[in-house]
A and B are shown apart, each in its own frame.
Chain A
Amino acid sequence: MARELMPDDNFSAMRQSIIDGAPDTASSLAQQAVSAGVAPIDAINHGYVPGMHDVGEQFAKGQMYLPDMMASAEAMRAAMAVLDPELKKLGAERPMSGVVVLGTTKGDIHEIGKILVGTMLTAHGFRVHDLGVDVAGEKFAAKVQELHADIVGVSALLTTTMRNQKGVVDAIEKAGLRPRVKIMVGGAPVTRRWAEEIGADGYAKDAMSAVALARQLMEQKTPAVVEAV
Chain B
Amino acid sequence: MRMRPKLQLLDKSLIERIVGEAFQLIEDPGVRVAPYVVNLLHDAGITVKDGVAHIPEVLARRLLDLAPRGFCLYDRSGKPAVRYGGDDVHFDPGSSCLNILDPETQQPRPALSGDLVRLVQVAEMLPQFAAQSTAMVCNDVPAEIGDWYRLLLVLWYSEKPIVTGAFSAASLHTLIDLLGIEGGGRAALRQHPRAIFDVCPSPPLNWSEFASQNLVDLARAGVPAEIVSMPLAGATAPVTLAGAVTQHAAECISGITIHQLAQPGSPIVWGGAPAIFDMRSGKTPMGAIETAMLDVACAEVGKFLGLPTHAYMVAGDGRVIDAQVEMESGMSTVLGALAGINMISGAGMLDFLACHSIEKLVIDAEAIASAQRLIEGIDARSDSLAVAMFAQTGLSGDFLKLKETRSLFRKEQHFPSAVIDRGLPTMNSNGDEPGILQRARQRVEELLSAYERHPLPPEREQELITFALREAKASGLEGLPEILRAEYAHESGLL
- Decide: A65 and B279 in contact? CB cutoff 8 A: yes
Q: Contacts A65-B279, A66-B282; is A189 near B354 (CB within 8 Å)?
A: yes
- Decide: B236 and A110 in contact? CB cutoff 8 A: yes
- Decide: A159 and B96 in contact? CB cutoff 8 A: yes
* Cα distance, A197 to B137, chains bound together (Å): 14
Q: Contacts A159-B354, A193-B108, A197-B110; is A206 near B279 (CB within 8 Å)?
A: no
Q: How far is the CB of B230 from chain A (nearest CB, A)?
A: 8
Give B109's nearest chain A residue, CB to CB.
A193
Q: How far is the CB of A168 from chain B (nearest CB, A)?
A: 15
- B428 in contact (CB, < 8 A): no
Pick the contact of B281 from A110, A112, A206 — CB < 8 Å? A206
- B200 in contact (CB, < 8 A): yes
**Which A residues touch B351, using CB under 8 A?**
191
CB under 8 Å from chain A, chain B span 364-413: none
Give A116's nearest chain B residue, CB to CB.
B282
A-B contacts, CB under 8 A, total: 54
Of A59, A113, A188, the most chain B CB neighbours within 10 A belong to A188
- B232 in contact (CB, < 8 A): yes
Q: Contacts A159-B353, A188-B284; is A67 near B279 (CB within 8 Å)?
A: yes
Pick the contact of A188 from B110, B143, B283 — CB < 8 Å? B283
Contact code string B87-111 (vs A, CB < 8 Å = 1, else 0): 0000000001011000000001110
**Which A residues touch B280, using CB under 8 A?**
59, 62, 65-66
Q: How far is the CB of B178 from chain A (nearest CB, A)?
A: 21
- B235 in contact (CB, < 8 A): yes
- B78 in contact (CB, < 8 A): no
Pick the contact of B354 from A160, A191, A205 — CB < 8 Å? A191
* Cα distance, A107 to B203, chains bound together (Å): 11
- B213 in contact (CB, < 8 A): no
Give A190's nearest chain B residue, CB to CB.
B354
Of B230, B232, B282, B352, the most chain A CB neighbours within 10 A belong to B282
- Decide: B202 and A109 in contact? CB cutoff 8 A: yes
- B206 in contact (CB, < 8 A): yes
**Which A residues touch B143, using CB under 8 A?**
163
Q: How far is the CB of A208 from chain B (nearest CB, A)?
A: 12
* Cα distance, A159 to B96, chains bound together (Å): 9
Give B110's nearest chain A residue, CB to CB.
A197
Q: Chain A interface secondary structure, helix, strand, loop or mixed?
A: loop
- B208 in contact (CB, < 8 A): yes
Contact code string A191-217 (vs B, CB < 8 Å = 1, else 0): 101100100000001100000000000
Contact code string B232-263 (vs A, CB < 8 Å = 1, else 0): 10111000000000000000000000000000
Contact code string B324-355 (vs A, CB < 8 Å = 1, else 0): 00000000000000000000000000011110
Q: How far is the CB of B228 from chain A (nearest CB, A)?
A: 10
- A78 in contact (CB, < 8 A): no
Give A62's nearest chain B residue, CB to CB.
B280
* Cα distance, A163 to B280, chains bound together (Å): 24
**Which B residues touch A112, using CB under 8 A?**
235, 282
- A157 in contact (CB, < 8 A): yes
- Decide: B235 and A159 in contact? CB cutoff 8 A: no
- Decide: A160 and B234 in contact? CB cutoff 8 A: no
**Which B residues touch A59, using CB under 8 A?**
280
Give A194's nearest chain B residue, CB to CB.
B98
Q: Contacts A112-B235, A193-B99; is A206 near B200 (CB within 8 Å)?
A: no
In the complex, 29 of the A-B residue pairs with CB atoms within 8 angstroms, ordered by the A residue number, are A62-B280, A66-B279, A66-B280, A66-B282, A67-B234, A67-B279, A107-B202, A107-B210, A109-B202, A109-B206, A110-B235, A112-B282, A157-B235, A158-B202, A159-B96, A159-B353, A159-B354, A160-B200, A163-B98, A188-B277, A188-B352, A189-B284, A189-B353, A189-B354, A191-B108, A191-B351, A193-B99, A193-B108, A206-B282
Given pairs A66-B280, A66-B282, A193-B108, 18 additional interface contacts (CB within 8 A):
A62-B280, A65-B280, A66-B279, A67-B234, A107-B208, A107-B210, A109-B202, A112-B282, A157-B232, A157-B235, A157-B236, A158-B230, A159-B353, A188-B282, A188-B352, A189-B284, A191-B108, A206-B281
A-to-B contact residues, CB < 8 Å: 59, 62, 65-67, 107-110, 112-113, 157-160, 163, 188-189, 191, 193-194, 197, 205-206
